Structure 1
Amino acid sequence: MENADPTRETIDDLSGATLLVFGAVWCGHCQAAQATITAGLATFPHVRHINIEDGKGRRLGRSFQVKLWPTLIFMRDGIERTRLVREIHASELKSALALISDL
């Protein structure tokens, strides 16, 4: 897992499967979703995972029109394929990961 604050240009240039997770460390919804996200990613170890600390003044989240946390954006070759917002259910997470996966 990568913990970084990349630029939008860097994100758009990524190849392969990428999961962006926008949230905040103090966010209760983000904390509640963490176990589900971790378990889902264990099934898709080749998917790049980037946690992005979001909040006031953070431009990357605004460029993706993030309004609620957590927001999970599933990308393939720099293009958004789908997203999950707020309540993260294991079955929906697995389907979204499969959508961007090489498997």
Structure 2
Amino acid sequence: MDRDEILKALAHPVRVNILAWLKEPQLHFPTQEHPLDLGVCAGQFERCGLSQSTVSSHLAVLQRAGLVTTRRVGQWIFYRRDEETIAAFRKSIGDL
């Protein structure tokens, strides 16, 4: 876990929102055709007012920071929060 990389990722409010949306995907993406246990398909974020390129950029930052994981199913890529990394980061902040 790279705490500096995570702090940079969390510095943008849209990325914080994406993490919040991914915490409760059933509330924010109820119309996704694929099961939400796979994660949220990147295309679903466009419904939240974000363009595809903006979504891709933000998701890439979150993935590099280790805050989300991906799973490819056919042509789709699904995103989920990496709860283990998030918990480790929260603990490391508490140790300051």
- Tell me the TM-score normalized by structure 1: 0.31
More helix as a share of residues: 2
Larger Rg: 1 or 2? 2
Quick one: higher RCO (CA 8 Å, sep 6+), 1 or 2?
Answer: 1
